[in-house]
Amino acid sequence: MDYIPNILFAIVLIIGIGYFIKNIRKLIRNIKLGQDIDVSDNKSQRWKNMAMIALGQSEMVRRPIAGILHVIVYVGFIVINIEVLEIIIDGLFGTHRIFSGIGSLYGVLIGTFEILALLVLVAVIVFWTRRNIIKLARFWKSEMTRWPKSDANYILYFEMVLMSLFLIMNATDIPFQEIATGNIISQYVSPWFAGLTENSIHIIERTAWWSHILIIFVFLNYLYFSKHLHILLAFPNTYYGSLKPKGELNNLEAVTKEVMLMMDPNVDPYATPTEGEDDEIPAKFGASDVQDLNWIQLLNAYTCTECGRCTSECPASQTGKKLSPRKIMMDTRDRLEEVGKNIDANKGEFKDDGKQLLDDYITREELWACTSCNACVEACPVSINPLSIILDMRRYLVMEQSAAPTELNTMMSNIENNGAPWPYNQMDRLNWKNE
């Protein structure tokens, strides 16, 4: 009978981690639906970027208030996880505070956790206030209704509850309070329970302990369904972030092939396709759906935590246009999830559902409002690039559908005919010299 809690704990642990792994595999499969892109270059710079941007939070602190609060929650999250390790060992083997054997260092450790837990609790309450009471504009844009709005608050509630339970768990641990080392914060909580019998205090302690670890497992599995995935994906995402100048847009290789062929005077215009060439499906120019994007763009979409720094910096969004770079990322993820579910429901095959990212999620009006100024790219604290998705979708509109706005068609035919976006003769290009 004594082993029942241990067995229960092991079952919970296996279910919690098992379901999480199942979803992570689904996540990886979905990301791999994207086109391949070679990012094997410059490994040392990539590791450096990851260390600076994800581990070091260098871009977060560009907005000091949100940045510092975030650093607190982030450090708290990482450090307090050492305690989770102890909880798991205790749970599996029926021990109690197994790490306390390390002596006075244990007090230092738990003391640190307690201080961090309190700081995290305060930071999360400030976050909640900024979102729900102060109502910072970037949290109240049109894409932040329904699930995205609730999701953001649920995450904050999870963290509030977890931190409170951790402190209560320590406060009601009578032997731990009696040793009185490391109970820096919980010593002020424990008097709240002073009137209760030792037995009831013990029951509260056990309840807090179990709730704490159960909620951690729930939270872990909540990640996949939430914008909170960034706590994991920020690391690969910053590793794979672009190393090129922000102004540099990729040159489409498929187009280069065509252009070189057109420019080559030695090409036989009557050449018949060689054997097998007929079966090749010509590459689609640009993107109309998530499978046309590359896998880094899809990873970007899963990494986005909807903070809205991009949208708040976007000139189009600031002046009331429909474009919101954050919505571009959210739409990409939503569509990718839909495609993933479609594949799950159809035994691993995607069945055409008559929908696509273009028009069903992202409208043309949004795409054409972008000034390609890179403000969104610069603003993102985890190296997400909404501009590259906008550009790929414009490419599809222009090259596959000839669906550019009329004025842009005029501009492009001017370039084609006169070598300038305006209807001036190329032969007049040097006239300014004598004017």
Residues that bind other proteins (CB under 8 A): 244-249, 251-252, 255-256, 258-260, 262-263, 285-286, 313, 315-316, 318-323, 365, 368-375, 377-378, 391, 393-399, 404-405, 407-408, 410-412, 415-416, 419-422, 424, 426-435
> Do residues 419 and 426 touch, judged by C-beta distance below 8 A?
yes
d(CA 108, CA 263): 72
Closest CB 278 distance from other proteins, rounded Å: 23
Tell me how far apart the 2 most distant CA atoms of the chain are, in Å. Answer: 101
Q: Which is nearer to other proteins, 161 or 404 (CB)?
A: 404
> Do residues 19 and 219 touch, judged by C-beta distance below 8 A?
no
Instruction: Tell me which residue of 330, 331, 329, 356 sits closest to 342, measured CA to CA.
Output: 356
Closest CB 254 distance from other proteins, rounded Å: 9
Closest CB 74 distance from other proteins, rounded Å: 23
Interhelix angle for 4-31 vs 325-345, to 10°? Answer: 110
Q: Which is nearer to other proteins, 17 or 415 (CB)?
A: 415
SS3 for 8-58 is HHHHHHHHHHHHHHHHHHHHHHHHCCCECCCCCCCHHHHHHHHHHHHHCCC
d(CA 57, CA 52): 6
Closest CB 408 distance from other proteins, rounded Å: 5
Sign of CA dihedral 413, 417, 423, 426: positive
Q: How many CB atoms are closer than 10 A to CB 164?
A: 16
d(CA 66, CA 72): 10
Instruction: Tell me which residue of 405, 419, 318 sits closest to 367, measured CA to CA.
Output: 405
Interhelix angle for 64-93 vs 146-171, to 10°? Answer: 60
Closest CB 199 distance from other proteins, rounded Å: 60
Q: Which is nearer to other proteins, 279 or 407 (CB)?
A: 407
CA atoms within 13 A on the CB side of 330: 23
Closest CB 403 distance from other proteins, rounded Å: 9
Amino acid at 414: N
Q: Which is nearer to other proteins, 47 or 424 (CB)?
A: 424
Closest CB 357 distance from other proteins, rounded Å: 15
SS3 for 324-372 is CHHHHHHHHHHHHHHHHHHHHHCCCCCCCCCCCHHHHCECHHHHHCCCC
Q: Which is nearer to other proteins, 249 or 345 (CB)?
A: 249
Closest CB 35 distance from other proteins, rounded Å: 15
> Do residues 333 and 304 touch, judged by C-beta distance below 8 A?
yes
Q: Which is nearer to other proteins, 41 or 198 (CB)?
A: 41
Q: Which is nearer to other proteins, 196 or 254 (CB)?
A: 254
Q: Which is nearer to other proteins, 45 or 81 (CB)?
A: 45
Closest CB 246 distance from other proteins, rounded Å: 5
Q: Which is nearer to other proteins, 104 or 251 (CB)?
A: 251
